[in-house]
Structure 1
């Protein structure tokens, strides 16, 4: 049965849909990881570790005390 003149098309296998998107999925995961790592490095840098506006200042101070 046609709906508005359109006929049914077979649904492609998941691999056929997923395969062309794999580079984008991998790049998204890598970008997400690297941005998170850079943010963590920036927050823990000496310049911003003791800044009162840093939301992680207390956590960083606690970590630095436990390492010494």
Structure 2
């Protein structure tokens, strides 16, 4: 018997949403990697507006 629409057992939250959590993690990781590759690409690595230019130049000498 339901009292004001409340169930005796709680409604599962994580079980039906696990694909969305997994897809969010994968998407975040892939966007992070694409951004890193874009910042370190040849065209933008030497651009003075690049905030990572000093770091990229330092890594290039090693």
Question: What is the TM-score when the length of structure 2 is the normalising length?
Answer: 0.85
Structure 2, gaps ≥5 residues long: none
Query: Which deviations, in whole Å up to 9, do the C-alpha atoms of 1:16-68 show, x marking residues without a partner?
Result: 210110000000000000000000000000000000000000000000011xx
Q: Point out 4+ residue stretches in structure 1 off by more than 3 angstroms.
A: none
Higher percent of residues as helix: 1
> Between Structure 1 and Structure 2, whose CA radius of gyration is higher?
1
Question: What is the TM-score when the length of structure 1 is the normalising length?
Answer: 0.78
Structure 1, gaps ≥5 residues long: 1-5
Query: Aligned Cα RMSD in Å?
Result: 1.7
Q: Determine the structure 2 residue equivalent to 1:3.
A: none
